[in-house]
A and B are shown apart, each in its own frame.
Chain A
Amino acid sequence: MRIGVVTFPGSLDDSSALRAIRLAGGTPVPLFHASDDLKEVEAVVLPGGFSYGDYLRCGAISRFAPIMSSIIVAAEHGFPVLGICNGFQILCESHLLPGALTRNQGLHFVCTDQALTIENTATPWTSGYTTGQRLVIPIKNGEGSFQASSTTLAELESEGRVVLRYADKNPNGSKNDIAGIANTRGNVVGVMPHPEQAIETLTGPSTDGLTFFTSILQSMVGR
């Protein structure tokens, strides 16, 4: 099964996302921002990094990349998209997800092994988890504080669209401890933590992130 990973200028975790797809058993397909060709992939990952140097606002320039026009149209028709960190920021800027990611409380870049709980297993990216499952996955960002209006927050909560929540300690001041959310349909998911950096015990704090990638492969088979 072909899953794409988009490289924007300044993407950093693209190679790790490609590796995660491969280790999960999928066929990773590199996609380049300057083309609108999705190369017949069945799902796409927008990886972490500092696309366009995070200049203007994180994700604000990438949102206008040719590849994004294809992804936005496809996503509106149910095409699965996972945005990780900078990818999450791009999804918010693209209005595929509500809210915004702002400077961390404390104003520092924070890299740490973060405890999380899975809140929603109904998305194709999280179906392999169990609700309430505890994970430890790295976070590493300077602008990860999720903010949204109280109406939006109430909507996200009541519709069960909070996918991932910080446990033990909120590292950045995110509203409602939100670490990840989904769109109404559930096909578009954005998370601040980096599941692609928690797929091998050799290099990550756990293998808890791998299920994001095995989930999408299983979801697509079952479709």
Chain B
Amino acid sequence: MALDTVAIAAGEPDAEQPWRELGLKADEYARIREILGRRPTSSELAMYSVMWSEHCSYKSSKVHLKQFGEKAPHSDALLVGIGENAGVVDIGQGYAVTFKIESHNHPSFVEPYQGAATGVGGIVRDILTMGARPIAVMDPLRFGLADAPDTRRVLPGIVAGVGGYGNCLGLPNIGGEVVFDETYAGNPLVNALCVGVMRHEDIKLATAHGTGNFVVLFGAKTGGDGIGGVSVLASETFASGKAAKRPSVQVGDPFAEKVLIECSLEIFAEDLVIGIQDLGGAGLSCATSELASAGSGGMSIQLEKVPLRDPSLSPEEILMSESQERMCAIIEPAKLSRFMKICKKWDVTATVIGEVTDGKHLQITFNSELIVDVPPRTVAHDGPVYNRPIAKPGYLDSLVPTSLPTLDTQDAIKAELLALIASPNIADKSWVTDQYDRYVQGNSVLSQPEDSGMVRIDEETHLGVAISTDANARWSYLDPYNGAKLALLESCRNIATTGAKPLAVTNCLNFGSPEDPGVMWQFAETVRGLADICLEMGLPVTGGNVSFYNQTGAVAILPTPVIAVLGVIQDVRTRTKMGIPSAGLQLIQIGNTDDNFSGSEWAHLHGQLGDHAPTPDVGTEIRLTQLLLEAQPLFESAHDLSDGGLAAALAEATLRNNIGATIGLPGEFIPGGVAAALFAETPGRVLVSVDPVNVSALEALASKYEIPLHTLGSSGGDALVINHAAIPLSELRTAHTETLPKLFG
């Protein structure tokens, strides 16, 4: 079938087009026709349909996300904000750090290994594109119930994919989460975070300017993978006789990405690029339209020059292909030969596919026929914006308070504690994390299961960064506004607990369908909460990612805003670990416990949800952060109390170095008695071990910051003893470590 050119489109204005099959709405298609003053060519239709999709255009979320700009706190640290491939913050000493988290949920359900692998690959290229050397990754993962059959299909593949790709890139995996909940059955969440470092002067942006500069595509050749919905168009345009069955999930080649990283870093070091963009979702359509619209607007591309893995690809497919491990750079003619030489050194294919022009249009030709002629901004940025209906969901009116047992006997304490730490959400995650390389690069100061992941940036000055990702989706389900706030506060606390100062925030907002007013209400409340808490905490949001349509039929996932906080630590040698290091230390709980079990793991274990999330106390949290940072030299260990409460924290802190503890929890310790003391998940609490000689100094600081302390007991022995209920560490370890290997082999 003939090529659909601009001339043909102008001459045949009424030709039928498969806009509906490509996911466009009637008014969206009409708008494209209005922009162009004619019907789009099939290539243009393909570009608009992908770039105006929810995934690329944020059309349902935009109206809410603008609060991050409106409520942005003043920050001297922010060097590059929302809108670029990733935000960049100043961490001092001339270093800049970029970090970002993205979802790859749907592909990972369809094809767990490749979906997860290319999720890692995509986020790493986003970081690289900023001019940074990627230095670590983290992967918050969420699955259906641990013993559900589909979880056994999905989880091993996703974990192997994260490891298989990340390990091969030489990026230490320093943390993340593994959470099970039935709402994620059919909708596993694979969120991938990457952090990178550069010098301030090396920051690169996605822009194309300078008439006559070359557009160079480098990296892997373009194939037919990841074309997804656009194959509808391909089959419309090119009727029969070609291989139709291609994977809609991209296939990753981590080795190609590794050499692309080294090659790009060498190119950056010689300052050879004007602008750069990676090819991710929507492939070349996205890269060319975004580069052009961020520059002067004019760009011409000769599409037949794109090196192909599959020579049968149509122009539409070349534009849409999401083949991995590709980058697009804008290069001055004088620097091209040096650029090509470096690519050759690394055996990376590089091809000039076009140039920056002085016009205002992105023009794409295929064998000299004009097939795309569009104002690039209309593709990249002027997509539709929806103010979707919002309604508070009905389930919030029928929530039931928790009704949980009191723990009156030693046997009850022991049985409940062992059951909790063996439950899949609290159990030891080594089965997962031991499949990831946490050592490579030799700068991992802290990694899972520590409270935050921490990486050394400078060997001479000992400067480092810490990152933590957190979400409590059940709290978000009960109260999305406060749930988002609590997730951010927990993430900050995790950072401060290890000795780093919180500096900046990014997020990955995973939700059900935006067409469901209840889901949209959860989303709107979440963004409002997150924007408010960032302002209150004085932390800039550097970027984020929204993933909608995580639902099976009418059942949406729990609203899951995953919050990542980046912190900076001046001397990584001073970091605090979570394991109790020796006997004879005093164990102290910082912060008060209350008797709200709603959303807690212990309630979940008893099949209950409860009726209200905690109300965050931001003033206290800010003072707690200050206390943690100032008192850090006094701590022998520190561990944030969150999922599983004090019980889980004690188990983890004692098992880490096999040092037992003896704890006494007085009945009047808190309302709710021993059960609440052990299992409530009241925010704003930290378990620390302190040398007895330092206790008075800690008390003085705590009183200065008006933060309560509670002496719990002391370390030592080979059992965890709580109110005379003794659990040998060996028994505790067995319960904690057996769960995941038993489930997943």
Contacts and interface: CB of A to CB of B under 8 A. Distances in A.
Contacts of A19: 442, 459
A16 B436 contact: no
A215 interface: no
Contacts of B530: none
A109 B163 contact: yes
B671 to A, nearest CB: 43
Nearest to A16: B442
B39 interface: no
A54 B255 CA distance: 8
Nearest to A49: B170
B572 A202 contact: yes
Contacts of A50: 167-168, 254-255, 258
B435 interface: yes
B669 interface: no
B485 interface: no
Interface in B167-185: 167-170
A196 B168 contact: no
Contacts of B254: 50, 53
Taking each of B256, B440, B442, which has the highest tally of chain A beta carbons within 10 Å of its own beta carbon? B442
Contact of B435 (A9, A109, A197, A200): A109
B442 A197 contact: yes
Contact of B434 (A9, A55, A111, A203): A111
Given A53-B253, A197-B442, A10 B259 contact: yes
Interface in B422-452: 433-445
Given A109-B163, A202-B456, A140 B437 contact: yes
B440 A10 contact: no
Nearest to B173: A111
B514 interface: no
B434 A110 contact: yes
A200 B456 CA distance: 12
Interface in A1-55: 9-10, 12-13, 15-16, 19, 34, 48-50, 52-55
A13 B164 CA distance: 16
A186 interface: no
Nearest to B347: A9
Contacts of A197: 439-440, 442
B440 A9 contact: no
Interface in A49-73: 49-50, 52-55
Contacts of B347: 9
Contacts of B259: 9-10
B445 A10 contact: no
B255 A55 contact: yes
A50 B261 CA distance: 14
Given A16-B442, A50-B168, A110-B434, A10 B572 contact: no
B439 A202 contact: no
Contacts of B434: 108, 110-112
Interface in B206-232: none
A10 B439 contact: no
B366 interface: no
Contacts of A161: none
Interface string A100-111: 000000001111
Contacts of A34: 345
B255 A15 contact: no
A57 B573 CA distance: 40
A140 B442 contact: no
Contacts of A138: 439
Nearest to A198: B439
Contacts of A49: 170
Contact of A140 (B253, B258, B346, B439): B439
Taking each of B258, B346, B347, which has the highest tally of chain A beta carbons within 10 Å of its own beta carbon? B258
B371 to A, nearest CB: 35
A194 interface: yes
A211 to B, nearest CB: 17
Given A9-B346, A10-B259, A53-B254, A108 B435 contact: yes
Interface string B255-276: 1101100100000000000000
Contacts, number: 89
Contacts of B444: 203
A196 to B, nearest CB: 7
Nearest to A204: B439
Nearest to A201: B573
A200 to B, nearest CB: 8
Nearest to A13: B440
B167 A140 contact: yes
B255 A52 contact: yes
A53 B442 contact: no
Contacts of B572: 202
B439 A194 contact: yes
Contacts of A54: 168, 255
Contacts of B459: 19
Interface in A71-130: 108-112
Contacts of A10: 168, 255, 258-259
A110 B434 CA distance: 6
Given A50-B254, A53-B254, A16 B168 contact: no
Contacts of A55: 255
A144 to B, nearest CB: 13
A55 to B, nearest CB: 7
Contacts of A110: 434-435
A6 to B, nearest CB: 14
Nearest to B575: A202
Contacts of B435: 108-111
Nearest to B744: A108
B436 A111 contact: yes
B440 A53 contact: no
Given A9-B255, A50-B258, A53-B253, A109 B442 contact: no
Contacts of B258: 9-10, 12, 50, 53
B730 to A, nearest CB: 16
A109 B437 CA distance: 9
Nearest to B164: A109
A203 B459 CA distance: 11
Nearest to B459: A19
A43 to B, nearest CB: 20
A111 B170 CA distance: 13
Contacts of B167: 50, 109, 140, 142
Contacts of B256: 53
A180 B540 CA distance: 50
A12 B170 contact: yes
A87 to B, nearest CB: 14
Taking each of A52, A109, A142, A196, which has the highest tally of chain B beta carbons within 10 Å of its own beta carbon? A109
A208 to B, nearest CB: 14
B325 to A, nearest CB: 11
A111 B435 CA distance: 6
29 contacts: A9-B255, A9-B346, A9-B347, A10-B255, A10-B259, A12-B170, A12-B258, A15-B441, A15-B442, A16-B441, A19-B459, A50-B167, A50-B254, A52-B255, A53-B168, A53-B254, A54-B255, A108-B160, A108-B435, A109-B435, A111-B434, A111-B437, A196-B442, A197-B440, A202-B572, A202-B573, A203-B439, A203-B445, A203-B456
Interface of B: 160, 163-164, 167-170, 253-256, 258-259, 262, 345-347, 433-445, 456, 459, 572-573
Interface of A: 9-10, 12-13, 15-16, 19, 34, 48-50, 52-55, 108-112, 138, 140, 142, 194, 196-197, 199-200, 202-204
Given A15-B441, A48-B440, A53-B253, 7 more contacts: A9-B262, A50-B167, A50-B254, A53-B256, A196-B442, A199-B442, A203-B444
